[in-house]
Every structure is written in C-alpha cells, then in structure tokens.
Amino acid sequence: MSYEKREKNRRKRRVFRTATISFVLIYLIFRAVPSLLASNAKTILPEKGTLIEKLSTQGFVIKNETVVRSTSNGDLQTSSTEGQRLSAGVEVASVNSLNDTSSLKEELSQLEESISALEKSEIETKIILNEKEKIIEMKDSLVNELQNAIAAGNFDEIYLLKSQLSLYDEKNKDISFSNTLVGQSIENLKSKRDSINSEIKSNNIKYYSSHGGIISYVLDGYEENYLPKDFENYTYDKLVLKELKDVDIKTKSAITVGEPIYKIIDNFEWYIAMKIEDLKQIEGFEVGNNIKITLEKDKHELKAKIVSINPSDKKGVVVVRLNTMLHDFYNIRFPKVDIIKSKKEGYKIPTKSIVDKDSIKGVYIKDKSGIVKFRPIIIIGEDDNYTYVDTGDNSGNITIEGEKQPVKTITLFDEIFLNTINIKEGQILN
C-alpha cells in the first residue's frame, strides 16, 4: 500500500473517532442538562392558609345618637375627652353667656362676708339667750319677794324690788330685739345671695350627660337621618353615598342658640345597612342569621345579626345589628364592609406551580431521595397568585374523580417545583 493511501485511511479513522467522541459528548451533555437544570430549579414548601370568600359592600352606619344643642349664645367650654365613654350625669360642656357678670360676682362676695359675720353674731346671741332664761328666773323670784314685801307692809323693800324688776325688764327687751334683728338680717341676705347666684348661673349653663354612652364633639350632620328604627325602609335607592363634612365643635369658641355642642352615642347596640349589587350573592341569607363582617382595612371580624333584608328588583340591602366594638368605629358613617361568606382551610401554593398530567391537576415535588414525583391536588379556591388545595384526610389522601382508590396528595414538607419546564416524573436529582 502506498504512503498516500495509508495516510488517507489514517485521516478517515481520525475523523471517525473525533465524530464518534463528539457525538457521545453531545449526547451526554443533552442528557445532563435537564438534570442539572432540574437540580437547580427553585422549590417552595406549601403553607397552611385560609381561603376567605368575601362580598364587598358599601356600608351605612346607623347609631342611636342624642344631639344636644345650646340654649343660649356664648363661649363654649368642653369638659370631656373625644370618644370617652361616660355614665349618666357627667358634665360634658358649659356655655358662658357674653353678658358681663363681674359686678354681680363682686356683690355676691360682699354678701357672703356679711352672712358669715352675722352668723357669727347669731352664735353670740344664742349665748345671750341663755342669759335671758336666767333673767326670767330672777324676775319670777323678785315678783315673789315683792308680793311678800307688800303683804308685810315693808315699803322700803318694795321700792328696792320694783327698781330691780324694772332693770331686768329693760335688759330682756334689748335681748329680744337684738335676736329678731339678727334673724331677719341673715334671712334677707341669704335670699338676696340666692337671687344673685341664679342670675350668675343663667349666664353659665352647664350640660350633663342624660344617659351613658360615647361622647363626641364631632358631628357629620347625619345623626338625625340614620335612625335605628323602621329598618325595612332602608332600601337600595334611598341609601345614597354622600360627601361627609365633619364639624369639630371643639374648634369653635363662640356658640349660638340651637347650635349642636355635642352628641352621646349609645354603645350597646349599633347597626349597618349594606348595599347588595346582586341578590344572588346573598342566597341563603335570612333574617335572624348570624354573620361575620370586617370594616374598612381593619382585620377584626365583627359578629352581626341580620335584622332586615330589603330587596329592590335584583339589588337589595342587608341591615345587621352589632353589640361590640363601637368604640373603635363610632366616628365613621360610610365604611367599606366585607361580608365573610365562607372560610376554607387548605394548603396555599403558587398557582404557576400547578400542571396537568393525564387530565389530573397536580404539582411536581422532590422527595427525600431526590426523585421527582407527581402529586395530584384538589383545588378549593384561588386568591391572586396563589391557589388553595385540599389537605386530604388524616393520612394525606384525596379522592380524584374517576379514580377508584384514594391517592396521596402534597404535605407541608414536600418541596414543590415552581418552574416545571425541565421537570419530568422519575428524574433523579443530586
């Protein structure tokens, strides 16, 4: 064989070996890439969660509110804290008349001093009255002696006894006159003092809580519109959302007759009327049912009882009664209200991790040995980017439609693949 021919065959063999090795390498790389990608794929553990089915509504708060108005013009002074719970008979506010009462107060001060001085004098007079009794006794004794002297004809003694008796008469008259004068003076001064006090008080009117409740100096103007009665009259068309113009009475210095100065809210019961856009959304609701609601962004669930359901064609209004938590919501009128229709417990998983395998919904998980497995799921609801699935029975099994035997579903400890593009059941991962 010539040199050229041998060289040619050698080159062919080298090309063949190179091609064979390249093919094997490429094959191995293609086989390894999915496993490498699967090994590095992100996984997540399920979480226990609660799927809450809510019905969002517009609420109208109805409270038993007593608005108190001023009976005079003047300067307002408040005595309680906004939102404070009070019992009956507590001073809430006062209105000072614009009339000048300085001269009356000065005269009242002088009267008090005079009464005090006379009362002291009256005490001293009582001491003197005790002496009067002694004088009367002395007079009686002198009269007896005088009668005896007359019978005996002792004219010198008669003259002396008459003189002594005359002195006691004068002293007794002075004491009686002084006592009467003091009594009359004190009576007159006290009467005048009471008269001036009444005149001063008429210029400073105090207001007291008529019953227990929550005190508020902020009024929205709807206190006498939304009344806790005739709930069947709260219909869809009558409940119109309006802009609130709250008036804070505390910011006012002067007040006029008839102007509101505060309100007391009964905190034992309050109501909310909720507008329903489609009556089908509240199928099964009946008067007397207990439901749970949330207000605004507050997460606290409030227990409420349905007192009226007022249909208007396909729309309607549900009115509920509450007896707690008013102190947290006493100053709102038109809150957003969510009616909690149902609550379901389940596992919360990302929606994008769910796949269809043989028309069965499920997820791919990595078990403890690193093997990729498919786990069927039963979806109970969705919320944004998450899906809630059935947790199964006590053994973690679920029943799939069309399957005779229960199958194992996911657990809290299963690592679920988020991205399933390069994931296949049975893969062995490092």
Q: Are residues 89 and 106 in the same domain?
A: no
Which of 178, 201, 224 lies at the terminal end of a domain, its last residue? 201
Q: What is the CATH number of the domain that holds 282?
A: 2.40.30.170
Residue 374 confidence (pLDDT) above 50: yes
How many domains is the chain built from?
4
Question: Reduced to 3 states, what is the DSSP secondary structure of residue 207?
Answer: strand
Q: Which has more pLDDT, 129 or 60?
A: 60
Is 96 in contact with 202 (CB distance < 8 Å)? no
The parent domain of residue 20 ranges over 1-39
Write out the H or E segment, with its range, that includes residue 335.
Answer: none
Q: Which has more pLDDT, 257 or 62?
A: 62
- List the structure tokens of 10: 């050698």
Q: Are residues 251 and 313 in the same domain?
A: yes
Confidence of residue 186 (pLDDT cuts 50, 70, 90): confident
Which of 146, 167, 201 lies at the terminal end of a domain, its last residue? 201
The mean pLDDT of 93-97, rounded to a whole number, is 86
* Closest among 325, 285, 278 to 305, alpha carbons compared: 285
Mention every residue, 6+ apart, whose C-beta is less than 8 A from residue 417: 38, 41, 42, 43, 353, 363, 364, 365, 366, 372, 423
CA distance 255 to 257: 7
- Whether residue 24 lies inside any domain: the answer is yes
Q: Are residues 178 and 273 in the same domain?
A: no
CA distance 298 to 417: 35
Which of 174, 201, 228 lies at the terminal end of a domain, its last residue? 201
The mean pLDDT of 320-332, rounded to a whole number, is 95
Is 139 in contact with 171 (CB distance < 8 Å)? no
Is 380 in contact with 389 (CB distance < 8 Å)? yes
Residue 211 confidence (pLDDT) above 50: yes
Q: Are residues 230 and 339 in the same domain?
A: yes
Residue 372 confidence (pLDDT) above 90: yes
Q: Are residues 84 and 176 in the same domain?
A: no
- List the structure tokens of 259: 């102007």
Q: Are residues 279 and 398 in the same domain?
A: no
- The pTM assigned to this predicted structure is 0.66
Confidence of residue 239 (pLDDT cuts 50, 70, 90): very high
Mention every residue, 6+ apart, whose C-beta is less than 8 A from residue 241: 58, 334
Q: Residue 180: what pLDDT?
A: 43
